[in-house]
Structure 1
Amino acid sequence: MNTADRVDLVTRYTQEVVTDEELAELLEEDSPSAYIGYAPTGEMHIGHFTTMRKLADFLQAGVDVTVLIADLHAHLDDEKSPFDLLDARSAYYEEAIEGMIEAAGADPDDIDFVRGTEFQLEEEYTLEMYRMAAETTISRTQRAASEVVRESESPNLGGLIYPLMQNLDVKSLDADIAYGGIDQRGIYMLGREILPNHGGESPVCLFAPLLAGLSGGKMSASEESSKVNLTDSPEEVADKINDAYCPMGEAEENGVLEYMEYLVFPILDERGENFVVERPEEYGGDLVYESYDALESDFVNEDLHPADLKGAAGEYVSEGIDPIRERLTEQPELLAEAYPDKYGDE
């Protein structure tokens, strides 16, 4: 695979690359490395699946991939995960991520999994973090983490340490590429500034878009109706999508269309399949789409009705998460131990 093809593969379905020139130069090398970190807090959902899909592209492009289960980060961010649940939630996250990677068509064995506690408590890491803390202002770290860490008028100190550690992770894991959602941009822009002063290099940054919620606006992990969970039944998936915000002809903040663009069509492309909307002959018969752009065009031009789109979308999304759902529901102890308040009595 030549460099141009590797660049196309690595950058597809992303929102921003910092910078394109640096990435192209990096992909001239044989085995560059990329990393993404996940703090094991709430249950994983379909928004995570869209970023996991990109890891399959990395592997296909010959990029070494590390997934960090950022257990300490999960506690530092306003104690979103109690300390005594970090091990259980980390185990659940690793299992869910392996399921998503496999469902995306890649081999989870090709990815290195690391927990933050495996290296973030070492003396060298800790001393470097203190150096970073001494050289970085509170306002700069707050600005960097504003889209990620829970904010308040009187923030906990852990939320200020969080962005420093996240950038130190890039150095410690020897990552050439830092990959994450676009909400991570502020943190990694800080890293590009400060890492060269701490024995590291400025990483190339790739950012994935954040999906709109099914109820309109931003997807919320705490709002069940705004997202599809990985363990939702086919009936639950269908109900959530049927109730979703999807006004006729409008693509803006349309979560159903975003599911199509960033999840369903990438999976179908890998399989060499089309997206089929089944309709009775009296309403024009079935519609077949080879690309997302064609589907969006029909929807915006009102040639595709929201009800028809939702019906097909529910089936394809449910099919997409089916192997992940099966993997997790066959291990109910994972969820029970990670989220005892919700699943402990089941």
Structure 2
Amino acid sequence: MTIDEKIKLIKEVGEEIITDADLKTLLESGEDLIAYDGFEPSGQIHIAQGILKAINVNKMTKAGIKFKMFVADWHAYANNKMGGDLDKIKTVGKYFIEVWKACGMDLTNVEFVWASDLVKDPDYWKLVLQVGKSNALKRFVRTAEMMGRDESLDKLTGAHVIYSCMQVADIFTLGAKITQLGMDQRKVNMLAREVGPQLGFWKPV
């Protein structure tokens, strides 16, 4: 598959690519590329999360990209999903994985990574703090839209601010050069592009 063919296939997945030039540079580099998508286990899976996600991941792996599906169980806990019951959240996460298998997701180049495994590493929390120190509180409040929250200090908890820092840290901890996330998470992706080079990392596409 040529570079242009890979780009065309990837564009079928992404509503917006920041930037086309950066994506082409990554593909031309010849390095093994990792893309990721994160999901909060939060109840019954709907068709876009199930069938469409399997289709999109298969397109990415067909383009030669390794895909990491990030089970954001701790993030769901911070966002009070499943009543804030971490055990229930983990059960739902396992259910999501089985649904994707049943939907035909090709797991040859797919890895499922749990947030509960990342948080065991002190270096992960060091990076979370580095991200938190990179900007003023106001900037992190603006990323709260990714959690479906009103951008108001009156409605945000400290956990929501930590959530934003964690998601940026997730990208670099997972080694993801490509973030295949929803448009509702655009702000945190832009934050990652900004702070990545400051912390010795890259600008994720």
User: Given the two structures, how large is their TM-score scaled by the length of structure 2?
Assistant: 0.90
Superposed, which structure 2 residues align to 1:122-271 within 5 Å? Answer: 122-151=121-150, 153-204=154-205
Which deviations, in whole Å up to 9, do the C-alpha atoms of 1:190-237 show, x marking residues without a partner?
110112222321101xxxxxxxxxxxxxxxxxxxxxxxxxxxxxxxxx
CA 1:199–1:120 in 2, change beyond 3 Å: closer, same or farther? farther
Q: 1:46 aligns to what?
A: 47
Aligned to 1:4: 4
Q: 1:25 to 1:124 in 2, by over 3 A?
A: same
Equivalent pairs counted in the alignment come to 199
Task: Confirm or deny: 8 A CA contact 1:40 1:74 kept in the other structure.
Answer: yes
Which residue identity lines up with residue 181 of structure 2 in the other structure? Answer: G
Q: Which has the higher contact order (CA 8 A, sep 6+)?
A: 2
Partners of 2:146 and 2:94 lie apart in 1 by 26
Preserved contact between residue 39 and residue 71 of structure 1 (Cα < 8 Å):
yes
Supply the distance in 2 between the matched residues of 1:59 and 1:147 (Cα, whole angstroms).
26
Whole-Å Cα distance in 1 between the matches of residues 41 and 13 of structure 2? Answer: 24
Identical pairs, percent: 28
Instruction: Check conservation: 2:41, 2:90, Cα contact below 8 A.
Output: no
- Secondary structure in 1 aligned to 2:181? strand
Q: Match for residue 114 of structure 1?
A: 113
Deviations 1:161-189 (CA, angstroms, capped at 9, x unpaired):
11211111110011110111111111100
Larger radius of gyration: 1
The one-letter code matched in structure 2 to 1:143 is R
Compare the two structures and name the one with the higher helix fraction.
Answer: 2
CA RMSD of aligned residues (A): 1.7
Any idea what SS the aligned residue of 1:31 has?
A: coil
Gaps of 5+ in 2: none
Q: CA deviation at 1:66?
A: 0.7
> Bigger shift: 67-76 or 109-118?
109-118
1:66-95 Cα distance to aligned partner (Å, 9 max, x none): 111011000111x11322312212211221
How many Å separate the matches in 2 of 1:147 and 1:131?
A: 20
1:67–1:114 contact (8 Å) kept in structure 2:
yes
1-side partners of 2:201 and 2:115: how far apart? 18
Structure 1 SS opposite 2:169: helix
Aligned pair partner of 1:92 in 95, 119, 126:
95
Q: Which amino acid aligns with 1:74?
A: A
Amino acid at match of 1:202: K
1:11 is aligned with what amino acid?
Answer: K
> Counterpart of 1:86 in structure 2: which amino acid?
I
- Residue in structure 2 matched with residue 18 of structure 1 by the alignment: 18
TM-score of the superposed pair, with normalisation by structure 1: 0.55
Aligned partners of 1:61, 1:13: CA distance in 2, in Å? 11
